[in-house]
Structures are given as structure tokens and as C-alpha cells.
Chains A and B, each alone.
Chain A
Amino acid sequence: MSTATILIALGAFLASAVEMVEALTIVLGVGTVRGWRSTLIGVAAATVVLAVLVAALGPALQQIPIDALRLVVGGLLLVFGLQWLRKAILRSSGYKPLHDEDEAFRRERADAEAAGGERRAGLDWYSFTVAFKGVLLEGLEVVFIVITFGSAQGHLAVAVVGAAAALVVVVVAGFLARGPLERVPENTIKFAVGLLLTSFGCFWGAEGAGVDWPGDELSLLALVAFLATFSWLAVRALRRRRLAYTPAEAGA
């Protein structure tokens, strides 16, 4: 198994896990308050839409010439991955609040209790739409990562298996915990996903633009190490900046 294959499986697993934790919080918040039937139908409908997207777009992208595909996919992954990485750096340095699953769960329950009881097609429409939208929106990021990871390297199945494994782990963990998974180190996982997406984006984007990487796939590890070191330094610099700013702010 090559370096790229292992990193693709790991990236798809981690990205899927962290997004599914957030989706699970929404589903649990609605389901525990309003009942499970309409909620689970919403989850199933969103899952079908996501699966159709992967099944349709994955093979279609593989018809595009590999260099053009890697240039476009690399560029997209780079821009997309940098969003994850920038947010993770800002969260770690205290400039952006950490995602609080317990707080999100309580907010979701409060909204579910306050919502009306409209019924459509025999379903509690609030439960159905919130569960559908929650799973679809969180899942779209996973689909984007799975399709881009899988198509650029020709390992769609590896990325799908990685994402599916995460789905199983999160659902089982949620079932055992019977609540939101607030102890999952979300920002650390998002940091890792941001690093992997950005590293793959760099690797494939440059390769698609005509670059030959020294050491071929092994340079992926060097890219991850370089970006991790840079991010760590950025977090340290921003933390120092924030601490230096706080006394002045207090005195203002």
C-alpha cells in the first residue's frame, strides 16, 4: 500500500468522522425531542442523495485526462483545505471559539421544542427537514473530499471505505454514548484534515501544472511535515500576539 493510499484513507476517515460527529449532534438533538421516525427518514434521504452524488460524480471525473484533473482538483482541494487549516489555526490560537458539541446539542433541542408541529406527507416536517439538511450539508464536505481524493489518485474505493468506516465508528459511538460526542478532539482532527487536504492539494495541483516532485509520493510526507511545522509556528505567533494584546485591551 503506497503512502498516498494510506493518507487518502486517513484523510477521508478523519474528515468524515468530524463532519459526522456534527451531523450526529443535530440528529440526536431533533430525534430525542420530537421522535425518531421522521428524523431517521430525513437522515436516510440525505444519505441517498450523498451516495448518488459520489456514485455519479466519482466515475465521471475519472474520464477527464489525469493532468487536467489533478490541476483542477488540486487547486480546489488547496482552496478548500486552506479553509479548514486557517480556521484550525485561529481556533488553536484563541481567535476563534472551539466548536462545542454539548452547547450545539442543547441549542438543537431547544429549537426542536419551540418549533411548530406541521405535518407533510405523513412526516413531522421539522424533524425531517432539519435532519435532512444537517446530514446533507455536513455530508457534502465529505463527498467533496471523497470525490476529489478518490478521483485524482484513482482510488475512489479507498476514499469511500475510509469515509464509510468513520460513519460506522461515529454512529456506534453515538449509540453507546447515547448523546453528543463532546469529548472528540474536533479541532485537532480538523487540523489534521486541513493539513492532509492542503498537502494533497499542493501535490496534485503542482503535478497537474507540470511539476515532478522529488521522491514522488514520499514528498507528500515532507509537505505534511512542512505545513504542520508552519501551522505550529503560526499558532505560537498568534497566541503570543493575543496575550500581548490582552493587557493593552484591559487598560483601554
Chain B
Amino acid sequence: MPKSKVGVTLRIEVRDDKGRVVKVIETPSRSFTQSFANILFASMWSQYTLTDMNMIYSFYDVMGSPIFVAGFPTTLVCKGGTCYETPRNLNTPPGALLLNDVGFLFYSEPQYIASPYQSYIIYMPGIWPGAAFCPEPVYAYGPCSPISTSILSPSLFSFPSSPVYTASGWQLTYSQTWTNVTSTPVIVSSVALVFGASGDPIAPKYYILYAAIVDNVTPAVVINPGYSITFTYTLLYAV
């Protein structure tokens, strides 16, 4: 098959402390992550089918913690007219986070901040900056060396609110601005589009943040004190 023609565009704008644009980078995005591909596949199936077919999907959240989607953790065994639940042998690591299925994978505003993320360096869906290049963005969990919100302060994450039909296709635009609130320059070398996901059972601890796309920023961008950087991902769905 010929190469697909449609991709994702990443636009980066750096503005000085007076709001003037000092740098613009526009480049094709390179990498939907392996975690995104796996979570998407997992979302195609019900928890009943995942159980019946003994299918287990795994992916990583932004902290690098493995998540398993495996159907029901127990199965019903009936003997002599008595039925009881018995644990399935899922062969997952002890203490691993298990989901029965995946329902939501594009959450862009959290219903709550799950406890594992409350103390994390960044904890909301958005476009996250990283200080280091990622050796292989397609396998990265998020931006490499995520930059703390106490260094680059985020604006609200802007995500699509209505269908936009263009000559190139349906256009979905995601954008977020980060401002250097320290007194020293900050280097941005990677960036990730991070969504929230959840599934059954629905509980706060099952709200997960994962990177759908990770890109390196080449060359790396320096953000001086008071300067801001705006990341915009434009996703086109072929028409």
C-alpha cells in the first residue's frame, strides 16, 4: 500500500515576555505511541469478550506504570449446584493495576485527579513539555524528563468543541501554553499529547493518564524567564 498522506502537525510558538512571537516551528508529528495503539485495541472489546477470549492488553501510563486490561478478575465456577467466584490466573505482576475494559480514552478534562497523579510533576490532560529528548518517542510513556508546573506554568488545555470541516479533512486542534515562571532559561526537548482514560470498574484509582503522541522538539527550544511556549497539535481525519 502507498504511504498514507495524512498526518498530524505540531506547531510550536515561543513568545517573549511582551507577547511577541520570537520563534515558530511547524513539523509533522512523528509518533503515536505504542500505549495509544494498545489502549485503542483494548477499547474495541467488552469485558465479557476479553474474559472469554483470555485477551490481555497492556500499556503504560505517563509515570511508566504498567496497566493491564484483562476482563473480569474472577470467573464463576459451578459445582454440584453451588457456584462461586474464583480468581482467574491472569499472569500479571503482583499489584499491577487491572482494568476490566477500556471505555474512555480521550478525556481532556479529568473528572477527578486520581491519587497516583496528585503528587506527580504534571497531573492534568494536556500537551506536556519535557526537558530531554526521547530515544524512541513511539515507545515513550510521556515527554522525557517532564518539566514541573512550578517551572513552566500551564494555561488551560484547549481541545475540540465542535466539528471543523476543511478541505484537508475533519480538523481537531489541541493547544496549550506554558510560561517560564522561574528566573532561569528552560530547555524543551520533547512534548506529549496526554489524555485521560478509564474503564470498568469506574473508580478514582482507575483514572489513568497516558501519552497518545510523543514528539521530540528538534532543535530543542530555550524558553527564557517570562517567555511562553504554545504547543498546538492539529489532527486531520481524512475526507
Pairing of A with B: no
Interface residues of B, Cβ cutoff 8 Å to A: none
The interface of chain A, by Cβ under 8 A from chain B, is none
